[in-house]
Amino acid sequence: MARTWTRRDIEDRVNVLRERYDGAAFAAAVAEFSEELGEEEQADLREILLERSRARAMRNPALDDRFLRGGWLRRAVGRLDDIERQQRDRRRPG
């Protein structure tokens, strides 16, 4: 009897395949996995892959890298702190 895959099971399998493979190897592994699925399950797999590709496409790796390194964020927050301090100093009766 063929296994029935829930959407959650399919998501978990895609996560495992993503951890193990990259690029063309990932695509080949997903194609092989899809052969185990029925029509409805294949539709779920397509939806999962499309959702993830959209989310990945919306990200900017260079910006993510700069954000993670923190320099840009520290400078931006530092400027805000400086502006706030200047405004606070102006408001103080002298």
Helices (H) and strands (E) in the chain, counts: 5, 0
Which pLDDT value is given to residue 75?
66
- 10-24, 25-39, 70-84: range with lowest mean pLDDT: 70-84
Distance (Å, whole) CA 50 – CA 13: 15
Element (H, E) at 61: helix 61-69
For the chain, percent of residues with pLDDT exceeding 90: 46
Res. 23: pLDDT tops 70: yes
- Provide the CA 7 distance to its chain's centre, in angstroms: 19
Q: Give the angle 17-19-24 at the CA atoms, nearest 5°.
A: 60
Kindly list the domain boundaries of the chain, sorted by start residue.
1-58, 61-94
Res. 1: pLDDT tops 60: no
Which pLDDT value is given to residue 56?
73
1 three-state secondary structure: coil
